[in-house]
Structure 1
Amino acid sequence: MSAVTLPDLKAARRLSRKQGLFAPDLLQAALARAFVMLRPDLMWKNPVMFTVEVGTVLSVVYTVYKVFVPASTHATLGYLIALDVWLFLTVLFANFAEALAEARGKAQADALRKTRQETPAYRLARAHDDPRQALDAPISSFERSVSTALKEGDLVVVDAGLLIPADGEIVAGVASVDEAAITGESAPVVREAGGDRSGVTGGTRVLSDRIVVRVTAAAGKSFLDRMIALVEGAARQRTPNEIALSLVLSAFTLIFLIVTAALWPMAANAESYMKDYLGAPENIRSLGTDVPTLVALLVCLIPTTIGALLAAIGIAGMDRALRANLIAKSGKAVEVAGDVDTLLLDKTGTITMGNRRATQILPLGDLAATEVGLLAALSSAADETPEGKSIVDLYRKLPGGNPAAAAAPAGANFVPFTAQTRMSGVDLPDGRQVRKGAADAIVKHVRAQGGTLPARLQEQVDAVASQGATPLLIAEGNRVLGLVVLEDILKPGIKERFERLRKMGIRTVMVTGDNPLTAKSIAGQAGVDDYIAEATPEAKLAYIRKEQFGGRLVAMMGDGTNDAPALAQADLGVAMNSGTQAAKEAGNMVDLDSDPTKLIEVVEIGKQLLMTRGALTTFSIANDLAKYFAIVPALFAGTLPWLKALDFMHLASPTSAILSAVIFNAIIIPALIPIALKGVTYRPVGADALLRRNLLVWGLGGVIAPFVGIKLIDMGLVVLGLA
């Protein structure tokens, strides 16, 4: 597996973000690709444009026949050639739209691929029982290797100044890491063993200290490889909504194909009737009997605009997700984000400022605060979480605290924290058992040991919780001896963010392991719609399933192993790149920035994708309606004079009307490419307001634009003497 150098990758990312929609190199690559995509084996994947391509071939054949048999039609050769040219350009412009979207991704992929290089790696022998022993050993004592030779499960030592050679999880140590290559942010971050901030990415640089990393992604499966596959389109699959819309467009195309095919005998019969029974001149001809004209009619009636832009819209949506530092495992994840109804967010690090810190130790019995603090520190000595470390730090700062005593003696047996027990602790060599954890978990533990609870315990727990802090109880054996206060601070502007989500029609739910009083207090301050207190993996799963049973789409963001079941169950699971491998595997989207508030951007990207597709579909269908009034009267005005009543546009001639409509139909595709790639501007408004705006801007605009455009083209043809 290859890593990257930071300066090169950062430069590549800056270049890709500054590159405009119509950079010359992108245009050149897209134009070449547009011609390649004319191959029928590629075109058939887009039924609408494949129909246009087949029609163009028929029109060209008919034009060639006209050259050899001039009497086959009264239409001029110039008119037929012009139709052929613009029908061909319609197909080419459609291919160009998709090719340009792909070219932007390929340009990013090429820039990223050029930055790949082998990175030195210092591998541990698998015989190491405790990776922590590697933190003090000389670097020369480890096997020197390279990143491309690493396998999943290998342990590597990374010193300050070295690049992390592979994606993995820290199993020992703590270090400051420069992740600017991934996130674009220059501020380093702390990554440490244990907890939910243990994930590291290949190509990032350790700035201080030493860490031991377990490789979790084999060669070819790193974040960089996934990013390259994503932007190249290799990993893109059509989303369910895109497939459904394609089927609808195919049905429209088939219907209009049948209708158009039926017009040819109808027009021929109308001519015969007028000649035989109404005494019309023998040379009367309707354009409805010319194959190129009927092809032009079909192309103008079927939804060519959205058919041409549909793939580009989907690719651009994936591209916008990538530019927001999100790796989506499929296009479905981006699309589902736009339909989310319920959003589950962890309290810690999402709603509050990172990890909680211990601020007070309150004795509940005869012991002094220092004595209770020592028990709390002993129970946290092997706790690698930031909360556990803050308890040890608090004890050491207490008057009379003994830093040396905070380390558990040899022979102590540590009990790790689990989401099920919601407590941790230590069994000391002298037989004492010390536990710390959530209030209800410790109460249950003490009662199971046959102990009794201190007077007014619940009152003191409730008093701490009602202030928005989290109370942790300290117990020795069957006695509750004290309480540790963990405090949270709300992130600035978080309440306004939730109000923004509410305007989008999304219900927010805070997930926390806190007791109900603390959860209620924080939820009220943050402005969330609901909360899950004392949340276990089972509780999260049950809540998600309840919401889904009610027909709602649920999004979940998490970073820990205990979040994995909920991430897998949620319709949209966003995992932190800094989190555990289990969480990243369970989610269908990974946030490279590890920013818990990124869900708001995820939702907006998804909604923008859906809005863009909806807006351009509305526009396409609306402008087809307007084209009927240009083409239908022109086709049959000679044989059915009453159709002149529908000729609102008063175009110069039937051939000018048809040619103008075909030209407009072709040039509207490249005109809409910037909107398809950039997306329609999203504003957090309700569904009703959004529908009204969509119909007003894109529906009404789609009706008006063809009337104006076709008339202007007709006038231009007259001026040029081509009408």
Structure 2
Amino acid sequence: MTAPAPAIPATGPTPRPPDTGARRKVGAGLLDPRQLLRALPGALRKLNPVTLARNPVMFVTEIGAALTTGLAVADPSVFGWLITGWLWLTVVFANLAEAVAESRGRAQADSLRRTRRQTTARRLTGWEPGAEPSAYLEQDVAAAELRRGDLVAVAAGELVPGDGDVIEGVAAVDESAITGESAPVIRESGGDRSAVTGGTRVLSDRVVVRITQEPGESFLDRMIALVEGAGRQKTPNELALNLLLVMMTFVFLVAVVTLQPMAVFSRDFMAAAHDTAALNADGVRGIVLVSLLVCLIPTTIGGLLSAIGIAGMDRLVQRNVLAMSGRAVEAAGDVNTLLLDKTGTITYGNRQAAGLLPVGGTDTRDLARAALLASLADETPEGRSIAAYTRREHGAGDGEPGRDVARPGMTWLPFTATTRMSGADLPGGLRLRKGAASAVAAWAVQNGGTVPAGFDYAVTEVSASGGTPLAVARQDGDGPAQVLGVVHLKDVVKPGLRERFGELRRMGIRTVMITGDNPVTAKAIAEEAGVDDFLAEATPEDKLALIRKEQAGGHLVAMTGDGTNDAPALAQADVGVAMNTGTSAAKEAGNMVDLDSDPTKIIEIVEIGKQLLITRGALTAFSIANDIAKYFAILPAMFGAVYPSLRAANVMGLHSPASAILSAVVFNAVIIVVLIPLALRGVRYRPSSADALLTRNLWIYGVGGLVLPFLAIKCIDVALVQFVPGI
């Protein structure tokens, strides 16, 4: 008697469709004002000149603030102390932007640290696969003592003591502390889902793990360092921009220090400011020159540049993606070619029943009933899909025995790789088979039947459309077997991907599908999904060759992978996103790790990288543009007496030279803190061409940065006149 097979649901699983990207923007949420207060102590600590020297623009500003402090102490005046106070605020606000970005990372790092506990590991010495417990030594050691290559045993309820690969056994593992997902995942030896992370908990069974880390080099340690910002290195574009800012600062510093008409300037400036007695003090001369320097140099972008880079990595961490370097995030924004695995990325991976093709005059309902019964013992996703499809679309199965019911004389035949068929033998001599077209056709011929006309055509038609044909046959008693028809299985393309690929195409990114399928199947899937090109029957060597070819053409390439055979290509790609469920080799080779193991997330990673680049570019444009308004405020005020023609440049009609200078300095400080939320959240990004993005940002942040400061400085000037007597 055959044991009953387990029951399955009446309908197949309904995968959750991915975000289509429609009406979607990449962002990081609003800035909580309380974050500014919490980050203030960190901003004050960054006033240390040794720390601030990493930011030359703000370092010069701090030196200027220190100089004006000394001058204000030596020769006190309201004007001098106001300028001094706002110069210090300028430095603090610039530090505040970076401190807020880092505080977000520290909050995430603290939650990760709570998962890192001192655990005891059971290290195995002399262990071999299949060895009896008496043949090897099991010793309890502290997890911190483990070295790369050590073998440890982890049983249900125990924490994994370190990063490694499962080399024996299979177990359910709780990775919620790392990924945030509460559902357990399966880790097993001998496949692409063998990697385990230190600090996760085994929920069932027992596994043997080979440690792949040295102390202090665990995946969790690297995550903590990176999200805190300690492991962040400046990217090439960021270094280039930083060098430009340094050069601009140097040029303006030389220009201010080497002003020739110092005596004339000092005498005539005081004369022009005859209505402000406080400006007649000698110390104000140096304070005014420092104000000129600070308003000339690019302090706005200088104060925000580091925060923009940190926030870009933070946006990835919020989406459960760990970037091993800022360079990887930046490279994602410059990607030209995107390589995508078909299975799991473009398609769901499990082939689903999509149609029935009767042959030889068979009724469709009879074919559906036979396909259902022949599939009930098939534990594969394809078998469950056929059962669900025939029930849902053709009403098959009403009154039929289920897999959980065994009637006398009934035998279930599960699918095996040897027979390539599944089936059922029912009472009365009825025999049903379902499986590979060639295997079922051979079974029918062996049992006295023939292959009906139209069968080969149906098989060819399904294959040409990119699907997989499965045949269904029956035999009544001693009569000849009969092929009833073909079941059409197809890889189901995830909904919304065609639109997402269209967005990437508008961004100038070429998409290439990588698959092991034959060219006919690959072409059909590629056309349905809307990718630009495909590579069929791909081997690891083929992937590597394709990446090198694209890079030789000047393109930056991004790809995903999870297996050891993907490691060479992940290492070669400019952006290699490894799945957290994959092998340690894949995670070591890539420069990003997706903790959710969602291959489609690479599309979002590219969008976040592009958002980082346009945010940096937009705020740089705004910074340079808003400097123009400061020039119109401070230069006529300082040199109008020496060069009367400059007075015409006072287009804002500022009240006095003193109020003009102070208004420019106040605006210079305030605009940094106003832009902190934008630097952290990122400029709104919508997929479009580079030309369209540049034009949009120039209009919004270039023209906006030109107009807004004029209005703001004028408003500050009016307020100063009202609230600061004698200014």
Q: TM-score, normalised by structure 2?
A: 0.75
Cα distance, 1:641–1:593 mapped onto 2, change above 3 Å:
same
Equivalents in 2 of 1:122, 1:471: separation in Å? Answer: 50
Equivalents in 2 of 1:143, 1:178: separation in Å? Answer: 25
Deviation of 1:666 (Å): 0.6
Q: SS of the residue aligned with 1:353? A: coil
User: 1:52 and 2:61 equivalent?
Assistant: yes
CA offset digits 1:595-623 (Å, max 9, x no partner): 10110121122112112111111110000
Gaps of 5+ in 2: 1-26, 356-378, 380-413, 427-437, 439-455, 471-486
Cα distance, 1:165–1:487 mapped onto 2, change above 3 Å:
farther
Equivalents in 2 of 1:608, 1:598: separation in Å? Answer: 15
CA offset digits 1:250-287 (Å, max 9, x no partner): 11111212222233x23534678999xxxx9xx99899
User: 1:178 and 2:203 equivalent?
Assistant: no
- 1:668 aligns to what? 671
Moved more, 328-337 or 501-510: 501-510
User: 1:601 and 2:604 equivalent?
Assistant: yes
Equivalents in 2 of 1:120, 1:273: separation in Å? Answer: 78
- 1:516 aligns to what? 519
Q: SS of the residue aligned with 2:261? A: helix
Equivalents in 2 of 1:611, 1:522: separation in Å? Answer: 34
Moved more, 610-619 or 198-207: 198-207
Alignment partner for residue 578 of structure 2, among 561, 575, 578?
Answer: 575
- 1:234 aligns to what? 230
Cα distance, 1:57–1:270 mapped onto 2, change above 3 Å:
closer
Q: SS of the residue aligned with 2:537? A: coil
Query: More helix per residue: 1 or 2?
Result: 1
Cα distance, 1:588–1:213 mapped onto 2, change above 3 Å:
same
Equivalents in 1 of 2:151, 2:719: separation in Å? Answer: 72
Equivalents in 2 of 1:571, 1:471: separation in Å? Answer: 39
Deviation of 1:589 (Å): 0.9
Equivalents in 1 of 2:243, 2:121: separation in Å? Answer: 51
User: 1:311 and 2:309 equivalent?
Assistant: no
Name the aligned partner's letter for residue 504 of structure 1: M
User: 1:540 and 2:543 equivalent?
Assistant: yes
Cα distance, 1:298–1:287 mapped onto 2, change above 3 Å:
farther
CA contact (8 A) 2:126 2:136 kept: no
CA contact (8 A) 2:122 2:152 kept: yes
Cα distance, 1:460–1:535 mapped onto 2, change above 3 Å:
farther
Cα distance, 1:722–1:191 mapped onto 2, change above 3 Å:
farther
CA contact (8 A) 2:415 2:421 kept: no
Q: SS of the residue aligned with 1:498? A: helix
Name the aligned partner's letter for residue 326 of structure 1: V
- 2:91 aligns to what? 91
5 Å matches for 1:311-710? 311-354=306-349, 392=417, 395=420, 397-399=422-424, 465-469=463-467, 488-710=491-713
Equivalents in 2 of 1:583, 1:274: separation in Å? Answer: 67
- 1:405 aligns to what? none
Q: Name the Cα RMSD after superposition.
A: 3.8
Equivalents in 1 of 2:204, 2:422: separation in Å? Answer: 25
CA offset digits 1:625-680 (Å, max 9, x no partner): 11111111111222222212111101110100000110010111111111111212
Q: SS of the residue aligned with 2:233? A: coil
Deviation of 1:548 (Å): 1.1
CA offset digits 1:135-182 (Å, max 9, x no partner): xx7999954455334332233333344433332222233333333222
Equivalents in 1 of 2:636, 2:583: separation in Å? Answer: 66
Deviation of 1:52 (Å): 0.9
Deviation of 1:53 (Å): 1.3
Deviation of 1:237 (Å): 0.5
- 1:298 aligns to what? 293
How much identity, in percent, do the aligned residues show?
A: 59
- 1:32 aligns to what? 41
CA offset digits 1:313-354 (Å, max 9, x no partner): 111111111111111111111111111111001111111113
5 Å matches for 1:94-173? 94-128=94-128, 130=129, 142-173=138-169
Greater length-normalized contact order (CA 8 Å, ≥ 6 residues apart): 2
Q: SS of the residue aligned with 1:510? A: strand
CA contact (8 A) 2:164 2:212 kept: yes
CA offset digits 1:561-603 (Å, max 9, x no partner): 1111111111111111111111111111111111101101211
Gaps of 5+ in 1: 1-16, 68-76, 361-376, 378-388, 402-438, 440-457, 473-483
Cα distance, 1:514–1:299 mapped onto 2, change above 3 Å:
same
CA offset digits 1:225-260 (Å, max 9, x no partner): 111111222211011111000001111111212222
CA contact (8 A) 2:124 2:150 kept: yes
Alignment partner for residue 718 of structure 1, among 709, 718, 721?
Answer: 721
Name the aligned partner's letter for residue 82 of structure 1: L
Deviation of 1:356 (Å): 5.8
CA offset digits 1:186-220 (Å, max 9, x no partner): 33333332332222222333344443332223332
Cα distance, 1:138–1:19 mapped onto 2, change above 3 Å:
farther
Cα distance, 1:106–1:556 mapped onto 2, change above 3 Å:
same
Equivalents in 2 of 1:358, 1:60: separation in Å? Answer: 78
Equivalents in 1 of 2:620, 2:716: separation in Å? Answer: 24
Deviation of 1:400 (Å): 7.6
Q: SS of the residue aligned with 1:652? A: coil
